[in-house]
Amino acid sequence: MIKSFEKPILTVDVAYLSIHNAQLEILTIRRQNEPFKGQLALPGGYVHCDQDTDLRDTARRVIAEKTQLEPDYIEQVETVASNTRDPRGWTATVLFMALVSQSKRDNEESLGSGCQWHKLDSIQSNELCFDHAVLLEKVKERLIAKSRYTSIPLFLLPNKFSLSEAQQFFEITTLSGLEKKSFRRRLLDAEIVEDTGELSKTGRRKASLYQIKPGVGVHFFPRMIG
């Protein structure tokens, strides 16, 4: 005989990160319903068994309904679950990390209602409801770790960027200073970016502008970057 069990609640939460004014920022949403009505949360929502065919669908729906901001890169980080993290009962949330490029960030037209970017350093853990401060820590750890051996920080850059900007973004995400020559050699050796032939309009010296090669996904560097 197969016993029937109380089923847990399953949700998806999406931690959006971007870099703005050389600082990491996180997208929060002000909760419109109880519990924690009026407080800040990561955008998220329930799995809808009748609508979603899989978790990607749920994430897509949450993104469309809550933020209207399609990220430039998304990956599943971890599933966090317990009987105490949500007053509504036993819940599991599948946590996603979403990276938003500076170009998209600068051209935000219709960010979802109640959505707001915050400096990651200035947000206090008690401002976030549920265990979202813990989720955010997990996402930060993943970003730092993965920025050391993959090319994912490229997805945070503007569409066209100088090698100095690329280095600056990797320094922000890896939390470490990088040696200029070695960083450039490794990025160019990876053959994942290409010179656009254009020059930057700012700065004392005009720098060549690069872009991610069309169709290139995440690259794994043979040696740690930072």
Binding residues (CB under 8 A) for its own copies: these are 2, 5-10, 33, 46-50, 52-55, 76, 78-84, 89-90, 92, 94, 145, 149, 220, 222-224
The residue among 64 and 145 lying less far from its own copies, judged by its C-beta, is: 145
Compute the distance between CA of residue 171 and CA of residue 192 in angstroms, rounded to an integer. 18
Q: Which is nearer to its own copies, 51 or 202 (CB)?
A: 51
User: Which residue's CB is nearer to its own copies, number 34 or number 109?
Assistant: 34
Smallest separation (angstroms) from its own copies to the CB of 34: 8
- Cβ-based nearer residue to its own copies, 2 or 107: 2
CB of 89 to its own copies, least distance (A): 7
How far is C-alpha 221 from the geometric centre of its chain's CA atoms? 20
C-alpha span between 48 and 83 (Å, rounded): 20
Q: Which CB, 79 or 196, lies closer to its own copies?
A: 79
Least distance (Å) between residue 130 CB and its own copies? 14
* Nearest approach, Cβ of residue 80 and its own copies (Å): 8
Within 10 Å of residue 106's Cβ, how many Cβ atoms? 10
- Copy the structure tokens of residue 34: 């109880």
Query: Given the complex with its own copies, which of 75 and 127 has the nearer CB atom?
Result: 75
- Rounded Cα distance, 216 and 47, in Å: 31
Question: Going by DSSP bridges, is the β-strand pair 91-99/9-20 parallel, antiparallel, or unpaired?
Answer: parallel
Bridge partners of 95, per DSSP, are 13, 78
Q: Which of 80, 86, 92, 94 is nearest to 34 (CA)?
A: 86
Q: Are 157 and 204 in contact (CB under 8 A)?
A: no
Q: Could you tell me the smallest distance in angstroms from the CB atom of residue 222 to its own copies?
A: 5
In angstroms, the CA 160 to CA 166 distance is: 10
Minimum CB separation from its own copies for residue 190, in Å? 13
